[in-house]
Amino acid sequence: MILPEEDIRIFNDSLDRLIAHPGSLERFYERFIGGSERVAKLFEGTDFERQKRALKASLYTAMLAADNNQPAIDQLQQLAQSHHEMGVEAEHYDFWLNCLLATVRECAGSLDARTERAWRSVLAVAISIMRDEVGAGAPDSASDDSDNLRKPR
C-alpha cells in the first residue's frame, strides 16, 4: 500500500521533531512499560540505549514501508517474527501505537488532526505488515485481558 506523499512528508517531519526532542524516546518507554505489567515483562533485561536506536530505525523503516519500499517491508516482516518469538501479541501493537501518539503529542510540538492521521496511516501499514507476517490479524476486542492494556498516560 502506498500512502499519499503528503502523509509521508507530515509523518517524517513530525518524527524528526520527536527524535530531536531530548528525552522523547525515554518518555515513550516510561509510558509503554509503565502502562502494562505484561509489556514490562517483555522488556526485562533490555539494553535501552540499544532499544531506543532500534525504535528510531523501525519508525523510519515504517515510513519507507508505507511508501511501498520492499526492503523496508522485508525488515518489518523479520521484526514481526522476532517480536512473535519474544511473546509480543496483537493487542500490544495498538497499545504501542497509543503510547507513541501520546508521546508525540507531548514531545513533538503538537499533534493536530492532520499529523495524527499521518502517524496513524503510516503506522497502520507497518502494523498490518507485522500482524500479517505472524498471522495475528486484528486484536480480538472481546478478549479477556487480565492486564487491561491501559490507555497511556
Spell out the domains of the chain, with CATH numbers in brackets.
5-133 (1.10.490.10)
**Three-class SS state of 91:** helix
Q: What span, in angstroms and rounded, lies between the C-alpha atoms of 122 and 39?
A: 23
Q: pLDDT category, 143, cuts 50, 70, 90?
A: very low
Q: How many CB atoms lie within 10 A of CB 151?
A: 10
pLDDT recorded at residue 149: 52
Percent of the chain, pLDDT > 90?
82
pLDDT recorded at residue 9: 97
Range with the largest mean pLDDT of 97-101, 107-111, 139-143: 97-101
pTM attached to this predicted model: 0.86
Say which residue, 2 or 78, is predicted with more confidence. Answer: 78
Residue carrying the nine cell digits 502523509: 7
Contact 3, 66 (CB under 8 A): yes
Q: pLDDT category, 146, cuts 50, 70, 90?
A: very low
pLDDT of residue 66 exceeding 60, the answer is: yes
Q: What span, in angstroms and rounded, lies between the C-alpha atoms of 78 and 83?
A: 9
